[in-house]
Amino acid sequence: MNFDAIAIPLPDSASLRMHTPPPLPRVRVARSQGRANEMSVLRDKRRDSARTRLHMAVNLTRASDLSSRTLWAYDIGLGGMQCRCKDVMFPGTYLDLAFRLPGTRELLKVGAQVASLGESPEGGVTLRVRFCRLSARTQLSIYRFLDKRRDRWSSQEQIGEAPRLFEALLTDAYSALQAEELRELGFVCTPWPQGLMPQAEALTKPQDVKPVVLQ
């Protein structure tokens, strides 16, 4: 038997449409605004708790491309500090910092990430940096320094709160970017597939039920 002589019919466009799965129904892609607001409030409370004002020089251990290797911190907390500098460092930049807290001799070396960038009224740039992967010794040193200045803390203090780890910082940053993209996107609508809407209306439409008469 010659199989080469057998003609296999090709499916036409109508049969292809019959076997093509219908598109997905209308999908709404949105993020809960209440959850985003709650996270923002928690971040504000964390930033305002257990903080104190100070004037401290902070050295950048690896900053060959900057004009100045010194930052001037004017506010510090368990999770980070606020500094003034001459150079612009964009949010997300990782820094290696070394400093001595006022009244102490211990040199603290920490990793940090730039969280926000602003303009100083006195000239220059203001940075808000968050600490990353602090050792237990460094955390204890910062806490003892803040504990001595307890009267200068904010009224919204949270003593037992531990600083966030590096992985948590990346998760928060990714969640914030994703929430911003979803807010800009709003929602995506795809049209109802042909024939699906009449079927749905038929299912929800009340049907006439004839009474049954018992003999």
Distance CA 72, CA 58 (A): 6
How much is the pLDDT for 55?
A: 92
pLDDT digits (tens, 9 = 90+) for 118-149: 888 777 889 999 999 899 999 999 999 998 88
CA dihedral sign, ordered 122, 148, 94, 65: positive
pLDDT in tens, 34-63: 555 555 544 554 444 578 899 999 999 876
Amino acid identity of residue 200, one-letter, is A
3-class SS of residue 184: helix
CATH for 33-152+164-183 (3.50.50.60, 3.20.20.210, 2.40.10.220, 3.40.50.150): 2.40.10.220
Q: Which of 26-35, 90-99, 171-180, 202-211 has the lowest mean pLDDT?
A: 26-35
* Domains of the chain, residue spans: 33-152+164-183
> Considering only CA atoms, which of 71, 107, 110 is closest in space to residue 94?
110
Task: Using the predicted structure, report yes or no on whether residue 215 has a pLDDT greater than 50.
Answer: yes
Structure-token match 């100083």, residue found: 120
43 vs 41: CA distance, rounded Å: 5
Q: Given phi > 0 = left and psi -120 to 50 = alpha, else beta, which region is 186?
A: left
Handedness of CA 74, 157, 143, 81 (dihedral sign): negative
What DSSP character marks residue 94?
E
Q: How big is the chain by its Cα radius of gyration, in Å?
A: 31
- Percentage above 90 pLDDT, the chain: 30
